[in-house]
Structure 1
Amino acid sequence: MDSRGPSHHGDLPDDIARDSRGRPILDRFGRPVRRRRRDAPSGSRPEGGRHVPGSAQPRGERPGRPVPPPRRNPEETRYTPRTPDRPPYTRPTPPPERPSRYRPEARPVPRYRHEPPAPRPERRPVRPERHDGERRDFGPGPRPRRPRRRRGCGMGCMTPFLLIIGMVLTLTVVIGLWADAKLNRVEATPAQQVANTAGTNWLLVGSDSRQGLTQEEIDTLGTGGDIGVGRTDTIMLLHYGRGSKPTLVSIPRDSYVNIPGYGMNKINSAFTFGGPQLLTETVEQATGLRIDHYAEIGFGGFAGLVDAVGGVEMCVTEAINDPLANIDLPAGCQDLAGPEALGYVRSRAFAMGDLDRVSHQREFLSALMEKATDPTTLLNPFRLGPLISRASGTFTVGTGDHIWNLARLALAMRSGVVTETVPVGGFRDTAVGNVVLWDEAAAQSLFDSLR
């Protein structure tokens, strides 16, 4: 019995080619191959070495090569007529087909669909090397998980800070506008000004006005009765610009200068004759510097400003006892409250009189501005609130000046200033009293350095 079907070898013609076991040799279509006839005309191999059917040399007689199955002419089998002595041809059963990898049913099924993947070998967690090079083994068990790296939260975390910053800026703007509205303003710019000069120039005036003070405050400060607003007790010129340190120049109030329209007189008389506007014009013509800003403060405002910052520390070189200024200060460093500070800057009980007084005024003004801009004051709402309220209510500025201009002034003085006094050439008794004469050459050199 053949594996390809029932035995029917005897039903085939005798000219069918058979193998060594007697089984018929089939072609690729499953049909039996006929043997080559012996009476075929002889011939030789054609050029190229290929065997031609019917040649003289059979395929099986070539030495050194395996015997291939004989080729068959399909026409001989397909159109061979039947004869009585030849049984009909029966096609053998074809061999079973081999599975093809190109058909879906023959593709290998992935392993993970039928069985789970093999477990990974268990690893023993090992702690990284320490600074001494030793490793520690945790023993069998699950591998410790690494801590997840925290990622930045982006703009979400910044939202509260942005809101706080926005609220602070809004509150600052509101407070600044409120304080700017409380400033007292006066016309201080003269009709005819000198040519523009470099930097920024402030005219700082301390008035001896007692207006607005109660009788109790007058007695505490020792200022005497109300004499109006006819005199200036302090006149200073502050200059600052790019690349130079701020310079604070004191102008003695008894300086003998020309007052436009009134002739030669003491410089503080200009305030009596024409107020801030005439005083500014007089200072401009005497110094040759263009005044950009004007600020004025009275006795009461000065004392209140000192109390608002919690007092100012001053080092007194020698004891001061001046009943006219209502002070009795020992020598040494000490904190001066409002009334004591006012008496310190007003007192003339010194060897040089008014010249020593203007020196004390410059020193105290620099210390006051430094204390007002100190972080302990700006970050303390119990000091910052009264300071803004006092400054905005007691300062008198020009019509074009604002609270932020005063803040810029304080910051400029906090960085350190160079203090000067207009060079003095001597004193003289005149029709208007004893006056201070300037050293014209030295004074001109000082003002030229500020232009």
Structure 2
Amino acid sequence: MPRIPAQGPPPRRSAVPAGAGPGQYAPTQKPEPIPVGDRSRDHRSPRSDRRVDHGRSSTRPPAPPAGTPPAPTPPRRRRRRSVRVGKIVLILLLVFVLGSIGLLFYYDSRLDRIDALPAYAGRPSDTPGTNWLIVGTDNRSDLSDAQRTNLSTGDADGSRTDTIMLVHNPPGTGKATVVSIPRDLFVEIPGHGSLKVNASYNIGGPALLVQTVENLTGIHIDHYAEIGFGGFDTLVDAVGGVDMCIDQPLNDPLAGLRLSKGCHHLNGRQALGLVRTRAFPRADLERVINQRKFLAALVSRATSPAVLLNPFRLFGFIGGAIDSLTVDERDHIRNLASLMFALRDPVTTTTPTGESVYTDDGLALPVTETTEEFFGRLRAGQPIPDELLVDAG
């Protein structure tokens, strides 16, 4: 029987790392010993270090210590809040815009309109800028007996105009010019010969007055506005009165006016008396100055923050203006708003005329070459030199 050699343990092989070729040295890699302090941790269950809090979730984070600032709001929640605030602002803005548009149409529909700008042969073609004719009348038809007594308007019938203003708003950024046309200016009234200019309104109403002024000036009138006694005092009182200064004491029982020299805060009744009175040495020529002062004071007050930021006064003024004004049938609220802002800082003057003369229509002011030069420059959109400005302000 053959003899089987005894088998001993297999020979020990050295660990050769991958990539080591024959004959190359490779260090023996032995496992690192586990530190005694960490040995017990290795044999614990993964869940053994979680605290069990009587049924509460074991994953709930511990409460932050006192004094720790609150955690920031998650971005998604902040976005939802921003979207919600944005929607509310958008809704409020939409309500404001729609409400404003609704009020605009409402007030525009309440305007009293007439055909004041006639089409006739030889009417001046369109001239530079925008031109308004503003007329104040003594129409008392809409006043009660008590109002006539309180406002000292008298009982005269019919309508006459004691206030005629041409407002020229030039193209570009130049200042508007407010020109008072004295009621005693002696002019040619189409179809009626030469008379005082205010007679044209009494004969043919606004249309004939506009035609007379256009023939006199050669300026194309684009817009027309008329205000009577009715509602005038309400309009002034709606903005809380106006501030005006006068150069001399005034005492005119016919206009119900008694004022000392100096500055005054006028209510509606006093303002109406001031723009009507002729109790001056220069009569109507002094009155037109006060009329322009009043217009400037009213516009300044109506466009001030005290009125624009006060809904009660703002809507009171708008309502009073709507009730007091008569405009051309082609005019709208937007045109009146444009006029108001053009009148905040205008150049004011009186039409230059000759000295008073006696005419078939009584004592009147004649048209001269200076008058024609003045309106020629205005018609061409040219600046008015100082020597052509009368009682300027």
Q: Give me the TM-score of the superposition, normalised by structure 1.
A: 0.67
Structure with higher Rg: it is: 1
Cα deviation, 1:75-128, whole Å, max 9, x if unaligned, reads xxxxxxxxx999899999575796989xxxxxx9xx999599xxxxxxxxxxxx
C-alpha distance 332-149 of structure 1, shift in aligned 2 (>3 A): farther
Given residue 337 of structure 1, which amino acid in structure 2 is its aligned partner? N
Aligned counterpart, 2:246: 316
Q: Which residue of 2 aligns with 1:238?
A: 167
2:267 aligned to 312, 333, 337, which one? 337
Task: Supply the distance in 2 between the matched residues of 1:265 and 1:155 (Cα, whole angstroms).
Answer: 71
CA-to-aligned-CA distance 1:230-259 (integer Å, 9 cap, x gap) = x11100011113220111100001111111
Helix, strand or coil for the counterpart of 2:93?
helix
CA distance in 2 between partners of 1:447 and 1:208 (Å): 31
Contact 1:370 1:410 in 2 (8 A): no
- 2:86 matched to 1:158? yes
Quote how far apart the aligned CAs of 1:182 are: 1.0
* Counterpart pick for 1:191 among 119, 132, 156: 119
1:208 corresponds to 2:138: yes
Q: Which residue of 2 aligns with 1:221?
A: 151
- Give the Cα separation in 1 of the matches to 2:296 and 2:3: 141
Structure 1 counterpart of 2:322: 392
Return the offset for 1:441.
2.4
Is 1:171 the counterpart of 2:116? The answer is no
Structure 1: which amino acid aligns with 2:98? T
Structure 2 distance, partners of 1:420, 1:409, is 17
Matched, 1:444 2:373: yes
Shift of 1:385: 2.5
| Amino acid aligned to 1:396 | T
Structure 1's 166 and 89: CA in aligned 2 closer, same or farther, altered over 3 A? same
Cα displacement (A) at 1:348:
0.5
> How far is 1:214 from its partner?
0.2
Measured at CA, do residues 352 and 100 of structure 1 come closer, stay the same or move farther in structure 2, by a change above 3 Å? same
Deviations 1:192-228 (A, max 9, x none): 3312111111100001100110000000111111412
Q: Quick check: 1:256–1:436 contact (8 Å CA) kept in 2?
A: yes
2: CA distance, partners of 1:89 / 1:254: 154
C-alpha distance in 2, partners of 1:155/1:450? 57
The 1-side partners of 2:364 and 2:350 are apart by 16
Most deviating of 214-223 and 334-343? 334-343
Task: Give the whole-Å Cα distance in 2 for the aligned partners of 1:164 and 1:365.
Answer: 36
Matched residue SS, 1:425: coil
Q: CA deviation at 1:439?
A: 3.3
Q: Which amino acid aligns with 1:426?
A: E
Contact 2:133 2:165 in 1 (8 A): yes
* TM-score (norm: length of structure 2): 0.77
Note if 1:421 corresponds to 2:350.
yes
Q: What is the CA distance between 1:312 and its match in structure 2? A: 0.9
CA–CA distance in 2 between the matches of 1:447 and 1:325? 36
| Contact persistence 1:426–1:438 (CA under 8 A) | no
Distance 2:72 2:353 in 1: 74
Contact 1:211–1:226 (CA<8 Å) still a contact in 2? no
Q: Would the alpha carbon gap of residues 98 and 213 (structure 1) be closer, same or farther in structure 2, given more than 3 Å must change?
A: same
Aligned length: 336
Distance 2:42 2:351 in 1: 105
Structure 1 portions without partners, runs of 5+ = 1-83, 102-107, 117-140
1:364-403 mapped onto 2 (5 Å cutoff): 364-403=294-333
Match of 2:225 among 271, 277, 295: 295
Matches within 5 A, 1:404-419: 404-414=334-344, 416-419=345-348
SS in 2 for 1:424: coil
1:381: how far off?
2.3
Shift of 1:268: 1.0
Give how far 1:144 is off.
8.0
Deviations 1:159-200 (A, max 9, x none): 333322222222221111111111100001121331211111
Q: Which residue of 2 aligns with 1:41?
A: none
Which range moved further: 359-368 or 147-156?
147-156
Give the equivalent residue in structure 2 for 1:327. Answer: 257
Identity %: 43
Whether the aligned pair in 2 keeps the contact of 1:239 and 1:450 (CA below 8 Å) is: no
Secondary structure of the structure 2 residue equivalent to 1:406: helix
